[in-house]
């Protein structure tokens, strides 16, 4: 899964982990809280440290000039209109997910 999660060394690699897929961690936790409220709290307590670590990881890897996370290898290959020859730039997609994660983690 090196194109989905961060990789370090070994036989895999070539793509940095993509914040687009990694952000599912934050999105799922946020939706659990939104839809189940107090019922979700035991599970959210279990994953809270990991969520904090993930957000810190993205923060450490943001572009210092832009203040955005723009690394990754996956963008939007099915943009509005469905023309797969007009991909949304990867930096735009990953920057969106960084901002979205920040909003959800407030």
Is residue 49 a part of any domain in this protein?
yes
Alpha-carbon 26 to chain mean position? 8
CA atoms within 13 A on the CB side of 104: 21
Is residue 60 a part of any domain in this protein?
yes
- The answer on pLDDT for 105 being more than 60 is yes
Is residue 10 a part of any domain in this protein?
no
Q: Give the structural domain span for 92.
A: 19-76+85-104
Is residue 13 a part of any domain in this protein?
no
Is residue 43 a part of any domain in this protein?
yes
Look up the pTM and report it: 0.78
Q: Mean pLDDT over all residues of the chain?
A: 81
The number of domains in the chain is 1
Residue partners of 33: CB distance under 8 A and separation at least 6: 40, 41, 44
Is residue 95 a part of any domain in this protein?
yes
Q: In this predicted model, what pLDDT tens digit does every residue of 43-77 receive, in sequence order?
A: 999 999 999 998 998 899 899 999 998 887 666 66
Is residue 8 a part of any domain in this protein?
no
Predicted confidence band of residue 86 (pLDDT cuts 50, 70, 90): low
Is residue 69 a part of any domain in this protein?
yes
75's tokens: 């963008």
């Amino acid at each position: 899964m090196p194109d989905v999660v961060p990789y370090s060394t070994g036989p895999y690699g070539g793509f940095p982990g993509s914040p687009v897929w990694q952000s599912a961690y934050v999105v799922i936790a946020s939706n659990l809280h939104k839809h189940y409220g107090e019922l979700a709290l035991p599970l959210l307590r279990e994953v809270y440290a990991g969520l904090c670590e993930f957000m810190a990881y993205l923060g450490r890897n943001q572009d210092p000039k832009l203040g955005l996370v723009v690394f990754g290898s996956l963008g939007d290959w099915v943009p509005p209109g469905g023309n797969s020859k007009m991909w949304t730039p990867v930096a735009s997609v990953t920057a969106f997910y960084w901002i979205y994660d920040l909003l959800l983690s407030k």
